[in-house]
Amino acid sequence: MSKVILITGASRGFGKIWAEAFLKRGDKVVATGRSIAALQDLVDEYGDQVLPLQLDVNDPEASFGAVNKAKEHFGRIDVLINNAGYGLFGTVEETSEEEARSQMETNFFGVLWLTQAVLPVMRAQNSGHIIQVSSYLGLIAVPVLGIYNASKFAVEGLTETLASEVKAFGINVSLVEPNGYATSWSGESAAQAKSMEIYNPVKEAFQQAASTPGFFGQPEATAEAILKLVDATNPPLRLLLGSFAYPAVKAAYEERLASFEEWKSVSEAAHGEPLTA
């Protein structure tokens, strides 16, 4: 049986690749983007299988409206993929208030609005799957992407909580956590904070690490993983994508646990004497 899948940010990158993968196998796709013209090629090829919608995920009213249109058009929504987002490059000190708020507005609040909008639909169906496109940088942090890291850490906390709240309604929740991929995310889709020369060494080290051969994955290679995730009877809460994500997260978590262990006695002493009733 075909599924109805709502994908935000479907005009390019992962969103476009995944939308085409679903459509090729016969699913129906509600494809949203800031420019509806960028979605026309999907309509031209797949016709009535696609409902293109112009959507700025920063607008809560528009987000709820898009979900209502999707439900009215196809009768149900089986999967929501919150994919819309962008990267903000710049150290913490370099980042302006406007840049930081804009990053959080899209990457976190955009996810929140679509999630809130689709939940009544999925609860009524007693089924559904909400997939948040996070990043392995929602689990570990790197320099020069501090506000982006923070936005994805926020999505991780929101989504883990959500999963515990909606499981009883038959709704599955997953986080997709890619490492770097050769999309426009770090190019034309990215924002750049005003540079301070004093941070040049930090940025050079960051660029050198990102220049490791094979560091960026092939975006098209993610399609099969997303199809498997959507089709899974018991999908995981977290799915890392790419060969660099797992070792990076594993190393960071091992270091984190070692630090907790080293300071364990201090942590326990900070509890004080157990309180009695």
Instruction: Spot the catalytic one: 136, 148, 181, 199.
Output: 148
| Neighbour-count burial of 211, counting CB atoms closer than 10 A to its CB (0-12 exposed, 13-18 middle, 19+ buried) | exposed
* 152 given a catalytic annotation: yes
In the block, tokens 């907790």 appear at 260
Residue from 134, 135, 151, 174 carrying the catalytic annotation: 134
Is 28 one of the catalytic residues? no
What is the separation, in whole angstroms, between the first and last Cα of the chain? 57
Cα(175)–Cα(178) distance, integer angstroms: 10
Active-site option among 152, 174, 181, 199: 152
> CB count, 10 Å around CB of 65?
14
148 is catalytic: yes
Neighbours of 123 (CB within 10 A): 15
Give the span between the Cα atoms of 44 and 136, in whole angstroms.
Answer: 35
Q: Is the dihedral of CA 237, 242, 247, 251 positive or negative?
A: negative
Q: Which residues pair with residue 130 across a beta bridge?
A: 80, 173
* Residues known to be catalytic: 134, 148, 152
